[in-house]
Structure 1
Amino acid sequence: MNNLVKLTISQAVSGLKNKEFTATDLVTAHINQMDKYRYINSYITEIPELALQAAKKSDFLIQNNQARPIEGIPVSIKDLFCTKGILTTAASKMLQNFTPVYDATAYSKIINAGGIMLGKGNMDEFAMGSANINSYFGNVINPWKAESDDVDLTPGGSSGGSSAAVAAFMAMAALGSDTGGSVRQPASYTGTVGIKPSYGRCSRWGMIAFSCSLDQPGVITRTVEDAAIMLEIMMGYDEKDSTSLNAEVPNLRSAVNQPIKGMKIGIPYDLMENRSLSSEIITMWQNTINLLKDHGVEIVSIGLPYINYALPVYYVLSSAEASSNLARYDGVRYGLRVEGKDSNINEIYELSRSEGFGAEVKRRIMMGTYALASTNINSYYIKAQQVRRLIVNDFTNSFNKVDCILIPSAPTAAFPLNSNQDDPVTMYLNDILTIPASLAGLPCISIPAGFSANKLPLGMQVIGSRLDEYNIIKISSAIEKALNLKFIPKGF
């Protein structure tokens, strides 16, 4: 039964349909895996009893030929998505006792398609972080280990619990969120596939807000085909979300295993000179370029001159939006309430926010408040918006020449959990390759494409033009098939 956890979603759906095993068998195998590897700390809340109840329902539907698209498939849901009657904390003390009375749309779509939630995935507090070291509920440990030592590594962030759960076979897929790379960067560090759709493709309703102009649900799986299956289910217009796009949902699964000969892929070669990129990453990038050439793809040199400004632009804009979004958590309207001796309103605000928020969240609120101050707004917030437009224009011009853009997902392989914790700027640099596409609202996917000298997974990123999820699936599927590599952590 333990081998069931290593099936892909497409394999599991087929096996369930053919009565080779039951949904109860599949869910039980994953619960056992969660018990075995609980030290990884992938989940904040586990709901095995509810999952088994849902599995019985799935078995009934399968038996009666009423199975939905992913009937019986066990999934992890990032603890940023509201789940009716089930604790939703955003990994913060501020929301440690919050139980929603409604479901997030992205979560509902997965459940209504037959998915079974195993629990709520651990994450960086309010999705602010790149290493999953900012959770009130403890660090998440990457299932992968370097060949040279036994040091615990980061699974990436902020969807670190999601990526670790999928990599360690504790879920077949994980619903995550991606603001500046929070699905793609963790996927790169854990040898999994992480996809972020175009901004507005998936509803944000019921997803606790960090940065409204950047936040977007995404998904982590173990194969490109599984990512296509899950994302197609999640996409679609939602009247409850004012940023939701009323656009036709493409048949993403049909993009898998399609020929790519004649397609044009853009390479911003200047980015190879960036000193943040390790030599291993550049070698993997060049190897992937050569692989695409061998498959008849035309490689086109492109310029993205403003991409070097993406990191500061992102941290100004996202922090400014966070300072506004998180203002509601004051102990009176929402969140943890802490009262002092005097119990006046200002004291409640101060004590509640001081105790309820972690250090990184406080740092971002302060940065955002500073950027929005009347004396600073023109120099920081307005200027960042102007440069964001230049970054968008760079991508628009490039997509007049190419079908997709290929760059790495992260500048290095996964790093030790205890490194750079006191150096936020160095930590922010881990997002340097994922942020540009987020600022432009573009669809992008990270796929495992090689290994470091220490046998750690490395990820490549395929970026598409707006609303062109189809072509990023097409290209990434071809790369995955041509590489034919297995990304399984040692001992799993």
Structure 2
Amino acid sequence: MVFLNKIFKKICQKPFSKLTSSPIRSIFTTHCFDNDFEIPLDENLYWDNLQNSLEESDQYTNKLTKAEKNVFILQLKMQYRSKSRQSTTPELQLAESISLVDTLDNWRVIDSHIVSTKRSHSREIFGSGNQEMLSKKIASSGADSLFVVIDRLTNMQVKGLRTTLLGNNPNMAIYDRYKVVLEIFKRNARSSIAKLQIALAEIPYLRHRYENKIVNSCIRSINRAKKLEKLNILISDTFDLAEKQAFESEKRWNKNLAIGRLDGRTFTVKDNISTESIRTTCGSKMLENYTPSFNATVVDRLLKSGSLLVGKTNLDEFGMGSVSSSYFGTVKNPYNVLIDDFDEDANDFYISGGSSGGSAASVSSGIVDFSIGSDTGGSVRNPASICGCIGFKPTYGMISRFGLIPLNNYLDTIGIMSRKIDVLVDVFNTIAGPDPNDATSLKCEFKPIKLADSFNTNEIKIGIPKEFFPNGLSEESLKAWKHSVGIFEKFGNAKIVSVSIPNIIYSMSVYSVLTSCEVASNFARYDGIRYGYHSELNLDTNPSGYNFETVVRKNRDESLGQVVRSRIVSGNYFLLKDNYEKYFLKSHKIKQLIVNDFLKVFNDDQCDLLVTPSCFNETFKYSHFLKQSQVFDEKDFFTSCANVAGLPAITLPCILSQNSLPIGIQLISKWKRDDLILNIANWFINKNGFEFLADNDKFLHKISNN
């Protein structure tokens, strides 16, 4: 009561316990302290909400008299077992409800319907048979508001109504009797005490608005993931865990005990990053049933920050590829949804890139706020570019790789994807820093990055590599490149210079050789005897025909894809005694030459930043991928150099192609200048004004009707 007294002394100079108006005490105590609600530690939270409500009440009459509402009334006809319980009729109740609406200026009843139900207290008030009929009737009526004649709708009932009845109009206002009566009182409140009564009576709605924000957001993420299930974005979902985490996060926020800026944010993790007690498959049959007993460092830090894990995302098998096609299917680009005749079950579709295609698709489609992937030659930046989101590969060693199932220890980097640069920076600040479990993590203290409110690009020199005009660069990608450079030149007054990185053309060769050698070494563990999938042996017909070699070959043939087996073979070839110096050692020497080229460009003050294409073209159809015969193609030509040199790089959505598909551009900066590249990325995004798919009206309309 002490807290209540303070509030009421501020408002009306009387303590709560001495207020003579019993309705005030009744409304406040009935609706503020139900459901074991706890007052936040910060008293100013409710005081601010009450004050805002009073200020809104002062302006309410002027605002609402101008707004016209067309109301559809749903009158419930309760099917009681005993008729003696019915003290009135649905027809009389409907007439009363119509009178209530008519009391409000500029409100009119456009249609009404009496519907039978047995479950006014259930989450779904109407059965499936009535749902379809009511949905069509409401949609055809032209109403913009729905009045369900029930005393108080619960928050879950409102969600159920939006899902089952208002799919075509998710923004339609929903009222119950309590709220309609409040509207009437608002119109007629003149004295301070009357306005106070209304403000206090509205607290339940204010409370739901703030208290359930995180839980509601989590449920929306889960529902969207379910609607987009056929895009093959997730290999394993953690919906139950995410909901549990959301409720815990909600409690922390309500008590002003939020852990940090990521508390309550939803995320996904690429399925080659270890998660305790959650299946981690690497997109392979070999690890179909593998469940780690520990969390990767990045996962552990995110969970401790209060982030909500929604699922594990699909990828190319063990991260080898640029399509995100695995044992669990191929990820479909969310932009497919915009195609009018798109068939979710069709065998041809636009791909999402790879290998972190599932992560990019989960962000682009709005399922989650951010996703964690791995980037060995462009596996975060490539799919981010063609799915239309931001993909960041930090400086090598800035983020711990502990718990990442390795592909290439020299090049592997944990990457981040998001639609918002500020969220991406929050994630980076949370997961970056030294880790004693990872010998390759940088030992220097990590200083959190801050985005500048205004960033001056006048002194920035933008470098354009001469070597990045290869054959095969499409007109669309060239257009995006020129567009991005034009933004820096026109809006930032940046200086554009031409630079040369002569050995960069060998990046793909270095990447391919070193990755194959690492695969040959790292994948020796996947023999199916000590680790992974184990084939059933027919000992009845061939009891003595198996030895270690034949068993391993059988296990791998049945559980590893063609690309993985090809890289194991090529890696062993490169590591043969006669080939070791010619391929493996020479690749390391060329790697150092590439590093030296970058050092010369950045340290000799030639430029501060490179702006390059991120891909040769927009995304392509899956049928085009199936026609390719090369194991190593050129998809990572523009991105692999940053991995070879260990530099920070980021891809940003730039333009839409003629086919309305996203094309991104890439920024590369000096070693350990992650702060510079993120601030410049933030500046570019604000100037470019790209519309993300998750905000696209057509996309939202299509998935709402799914």
TM-score (norm 2): 0.66
How many Å separate the matches in 2 of 1:470 and 1:356? 42
Instruction: Quote the offset at 1:394 in angstroms.
Output: 1.0
Aligned ranges for residues 164-203 of structure 1 at < 5 Å?
A: 164-203=361-400
Larger radius of gyration: 2
Aligned ranges for residues 356-367 of structure 1 at < 5 Å?
A: 356-367=559-570
Counterpart of 2:449? 252
The one-letter code matched in structure 1 to 2:286 is M
**Contact 1:152–1:416 under 8 Å retained in 2:** yes
Given the alignment of the two structures, is residue 50 of structure 1 paired with residue 241 of structure 2, yes or no?
yes
Given the alignment of the two structures, is residue 467 of structure 1 paired with residue 658 of structure 2, yes or no?
no
Counterpart of 1:92? 284
Counterpart of 1:371? 574
How many Å separate the matches in 1 of 2:243 and 2:429? 25
Aligned ranges for residues 409-448 of structure 1 at < 5 Å?
A: 409-425=614-630, 428-448=633-653
How many Å separate the matches in 2 of 1:185 and 1:334? 31
**Contact 1:257–1:477 under 8 Å retained in 2:** no
Alignment match of 2:351 (pick from 141, 144, 154): 154
Counterpart of 2:216? 25
How many residues align structurally? 479
The one-letter code matched in structure 1 to 2:237 is E
Alignment match of 2:599 (pick from 384, 388, 396): 396
* RCO higher in structure (CA 8 A, sep ≥6): 1
Counterpart of 2:420? 223
Instruction: Quote the offset at 1:147 in angstroms.
Output: 6.5
**Contact 1:147–1:455 under 8 Å retained in 2:** no
Alignment match of 1:275 (pick from 468, 471, 475): 471
What secondary structure sits across from 1:361 in the alignment?
helix
Alignment match of 2:554 (pick from 332, 351, 355): 351
How many Å separate the matches in 2 of 1:79 and 1:230? 18
Instruction: Quote the offset at 1:123 in angstroms.
Output: 0.6
Cα separation, partners in 2 of 1:256 and 1:115, compared to 1, 3 Å = farther
Q: Which runs of 5+ in 2 are unaligned?
A: 1-158, 164-205, 343-347, 540-544, 701-706
Counterpart of 2:113? none
**Contact 1:16–1:62 under 8 Å retained in 2:** no
How many Å separate the matches in 2 of 1:433 and 1:236? 27
How many Å separate the matches in 2 of 1:214 and 1:484? 33
TM-score (norm 1): 0.93
Cα separation, partners in 2 of 1:127 and 1:255, compared to 1, 3 Å = farther
The one-letter code matched in structure 1 to 2:522 is N
What secondary structure sits across from 1:431 in the alignment?
coil
**Contact 1:16–1:22 under 8 Å retained in 2:** no
Given the alignment of the two structures, is residue 38 of structure 1 paired with residue 229 of structure 2, yes or no?
yes
**Contact 2:467–2:505 under 8 Å retained in 1:** no
**Contact 1:147–1:454 under 8 Å retained in 2:** no
Moved more, 437-446 or 393-402: 393-402
Aligned ranges for residues 9-158 of structure 1 at < 5 Å?
A: 19=210, 21-69=212-260, 70-133=262-325, 135-145=326-336, 150=342, 152-158=349-355
Instruction: Quote the offset at 1:421 in angstroms.
Output: 2.4
Moved more, 257-266 or 53-62: 257-266
Cα separation, partners in 2 of 1:316 and 1:233, compared to 1, 3 Å = same
Instruction: Quote the offset at 1:256 in angstroms.
Output: 6.3
Q: Which runs of 5+ in 1 are unaligned?
A: 4-14
How many Å separate the matches in 2 of 1:111 and 1:221? 17
Moved more, 149-158 or 32-41: 149-158
**Contact 1:84–1:103 under 8 Å retained in 2:** yes
Moved more, 37-46 or 278-287: 278-287
**Contact 2:270–2:374 under 8 Å retained in 1:** yes
What's the % identity of the aligned pairs?
35
Given the alignment of the two structures, is residue 290 of structure 1 paired with residue 486 of structure 2, yes or no?
yes
RMSD: 2.1
Given the alignment of the two structures, is residue 214 of structure 1 paired with residue 411 of structure 2, yes or no?
yes
What secondary structure sits across from 2:269 in the alignment?
strand
How many Å separate the matches in 2 of 1:297 and 1:357? 49
What secondary structure sits across from 1:27 in the alignment?
helix
